Chains A and B, each alone.
Chain A
Amino acid sequence: DAGVIQSPRHEVTEMGQEVTLRCKPISGHNSLFWYRQTMMRGLELLIYFNNNVPIDDSGMPEDRFSAKMPNASFSTLKIQPSEPRDSAVYFCASRQGAFNQPQHFGDGTRLSIL
């Protein structure tokens, strides 16, 4: 079975540009999570969706960040405008069913803002 698929794997762009990260969850999973990982702060939950509806976005750093899930098989995380401090690895994870079920992660997008 295909796991969580993220694209692009690497993104390098200049400050001020719009960045869009993409995620395809595992088929049949009904929850989707966006995380950010840095050396300083570790893994942080940004937002999660349940049945395509955003449930908790309290981890989104500021209004420059937005996330959408137009259908069960696709989600985007957008940063506009991007800043150097947004440089990190962004992971998407999905989960099937109840809260005690495990989250399964993609291989992430390594984002560098110059």
Chain B
Amino acid sequence: DAKTTQPTSMDCAEGRAANLPCNHSTISGNEYVYWYRQIHSQGPQYIIHGLKNNETNEMASLIITEDRKSSTLILPHATLRDTAVYYCIVRASGNAGNMLTFGGGTRLMVKP
């Protein structure tokens, strides 16, 4: 799986958009980009995933650059409950994609 690079930590004001970047410059054509988050003492929570098109769901939007070398997770109106560690994961399809490899992630702190 391609390696990802994320900032160690970020702050965001409550009610504002949180934009979390991820670099995956070695991504290959069959690899998807996934975002999960983990709130202390809970299991990883799936947020969104995509291959090359931008995606949106009820939780967030995922913007993938045209060359697919980076992406941004957008939480449109961050709340205090969005404080968590956010993981960007690049994963192949097929058998190789069964294990999720979580890196260090970005610790997002939403402040009042």
Contact = CB atoms under 8 A, between A and B. Distances in A.
Interface residues of A, number: 23
A42 B98 contact: no
Interface residues of B, number: 19
A102 B49 CA distance: 8
A contacts with B: majority SS? strand
B43 A45 contact: no
Interface of A: 4, 31, 33, 35, 42-43, 45, 48, 55-56, 59, 91, 93, 98-100, 102-108
Interface of B: 32, 34, 41-46, 49, 51, 93-95, 97-102
Given A100-B51, A100-B93, 9 more contacts: A31-B98, A43-B101, A45-B98, A45-B99, A45-B100, A48-B98, A55-B98, A102-B34, A105-B45
